[in-house]
């Protein structure tokens, strides 16, 4: 094949009146080639060679595997091709898999915007945080974001079990004031028994289906290894991890308080996509949310806490009294929809309280538990007088009980 330079020279010589024989002799080509080059109007281009590869019969199989499992490694694919008859080398497979994954990553996606009340995206996350004592601790948190309003709900939680997921969702629904039609989440163990595939839908856990049936919501598990399906909550995941990992906290109670404050601040800030405050859009979206179930779904979630020196244990922004023997000791707080149960590390029940609203700021105290402590009698008499004057330091804007008694609460 002769290139552009030979073609240009042949055409130039012909335009000067040279014969085909003279052109052929000058360029070192035969006469027939000279004639062909002079009569050719376009620049000669080499014909693409049809390359074949020993991997060609297996590319469709590899494509199907990568569609179902985009993170499947080339080593796994190479091992599974052997029994199918592939006799080529591993580098050949590796090059094809790398190119295919790059092509899949570049594929365009359609941005999915949801109608009001239609969808909430849900996920768990983990991040290491630092406390003032120098302790580094891995914290688990729950995230929910409504698709339309972009309103977010975020809680620190003890684990990623089904009871914890149900508890967080139940609390989130109360905060939202209603139920979305659909929950979009990963193929997480609390929800699915068998993940969704290209050929079959996900198989949901029986207890999870019972919860969904009680609430009247639909579960939509994502495609495995495809994070962009629930991109709204995935982007939020990075924001939350950055917030928690970049700060030092006094203790877990301080972390939870800062986390709540940051979530509220984000709800009142202009969202970069909607150009509106999520709180304002939530007011509109609430008109499209489903009604809350008349009775809360039963669950039990366990949290570890340290009792303060004044015999109070913090939980969900409220504080509950405990016996003197447990001052500054670790305990386990188990929450049901209606009760807060406190257990010792050995499993003995210490206290049982009616569950107060999340973030209500209530302090539930019993004077009998402080009997015998130095200054207790005087302290409670002062609190009674302050309460009577309407200047109780623990007051948070709600009406306090008329008189202090065992199990009473100061808000």
pTM: 0.56
> Tokens 């399906």 — which residue?
229
The pLDDT assigned to 411 comes to 34
CA gap 275, 150 in Å, rounded: 11
Residues 321-355: pLDDT tens digits? 888 788 888 888 888 778 888 888 887 888 888 88
Residue 295 CB neighbours (<10 A): 8
DSSP secondary structure string, 46-87?
A: PPPP----TTGGGHHHHHHHHHH-TT--HHHHHHHHGGGT--
Over the stretch 242-278, which tens digit does the pLDDT of each residue have?
Answer: 999 999 999 888 998 999 999 999 999 998 888 899 9
Per-residue pLDDT, averaged over 90-115, amounts to 76
The answer, yes or no, to whether residue 29 has pLDDT greater than 60, is yes
Write the DSSP string, 39-50: H--SPP-PPPP-
- Alpha-carbon distance of 77 to 84, in angstroms, equals 11
* Cβ contacts of 228 within 8 Å, gap of 6 or more: 109, 234
For range 299-306, the mean pLDDT = 78
Asked whether the beta carbons of 156 and 259 are under 8 A apart, the reply is yes
Position with higher pLDDT, 314 vs 244: 244
């Amino acid at each position: 094949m002769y290139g552009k330079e030979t073609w240009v020279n042949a055409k130039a010589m012909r335009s000067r009146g040279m014969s085909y024989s003279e052109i052929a002799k000058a360029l070192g080509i035969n006469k027939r080639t000279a004639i062909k080059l002079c009569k050719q109007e376009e620049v000669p281009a080499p014909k693409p060679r049809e390359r074949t590869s020993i991997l060609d019969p297996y590319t469709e199989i590899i494509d199907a595997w990568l569609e179902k499992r985009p993170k499947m490694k080339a080593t796994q694919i190479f091992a599974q091709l052997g029994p199918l008859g592939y006799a080529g080398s591993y580098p050949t497979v590796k090059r094809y898999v790398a190119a295919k994954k790059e092509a899949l990553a570049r594929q365009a996606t359609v941005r999915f915007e949801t109608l009001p009340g239609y969808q909430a995206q849900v996920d768990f996350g983990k991040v290491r945080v630092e406390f003032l004592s120098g302790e580094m601790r891995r914290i688990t948190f729950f995230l929910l974001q409504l698709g339309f309003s972009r309103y977010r709900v975020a809680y620190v939680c003890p684990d990623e079990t089904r009871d914890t997921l149900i508890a967080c969702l139940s609390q989130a629904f109360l905060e939202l004031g209603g139920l979305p039609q659909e929950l979009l989440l990963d193929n997480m163990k609390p929800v699915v028994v068998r993940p969704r595939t290209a050929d079959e839908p996900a198989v949901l856990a029986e207890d999870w289906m019972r919860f969904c049936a009680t609430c009247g919501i639909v579960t939509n598990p994502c495609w495995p290894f495809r994070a962009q399906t629930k991109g709204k909550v995935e982007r939020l995941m990075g924001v939350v991890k950055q917030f928690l990992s970049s700060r030092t906290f006094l203790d877990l109670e301080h972390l939870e308080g800062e986390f709540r404050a940051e979530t509220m601040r984000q709800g009142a800030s202009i969202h970069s996509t909607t150009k509106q405050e999520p709180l304002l859009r939530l007011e509109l979206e609430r008109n499209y949310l489903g009604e809350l179930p008349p009775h809360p779904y039963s669950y039990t979630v366990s949290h570890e806490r340290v009792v303060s020196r004044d015999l109070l244990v913090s939980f969900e922004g409220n504080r509950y009294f405990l016996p003197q023997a447990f001052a500054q000791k670790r305990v386990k707080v188990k929450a049901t929809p209606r009760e807060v149960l406190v257990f010792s590390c050995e499993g003995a029940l210490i206290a049982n309280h009616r569950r107060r609203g999340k973030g209500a700021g209530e302090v539930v105290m019993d004077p009998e538990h402080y009997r015998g402590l130095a200054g207790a009698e005087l302290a409670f008499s002062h609190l009674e007088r302050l309460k009577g004057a309407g200047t109780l330091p623990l007051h948070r804007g709600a009406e306090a009980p008329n008189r202090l008694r065992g199990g009473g609460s100061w808000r």
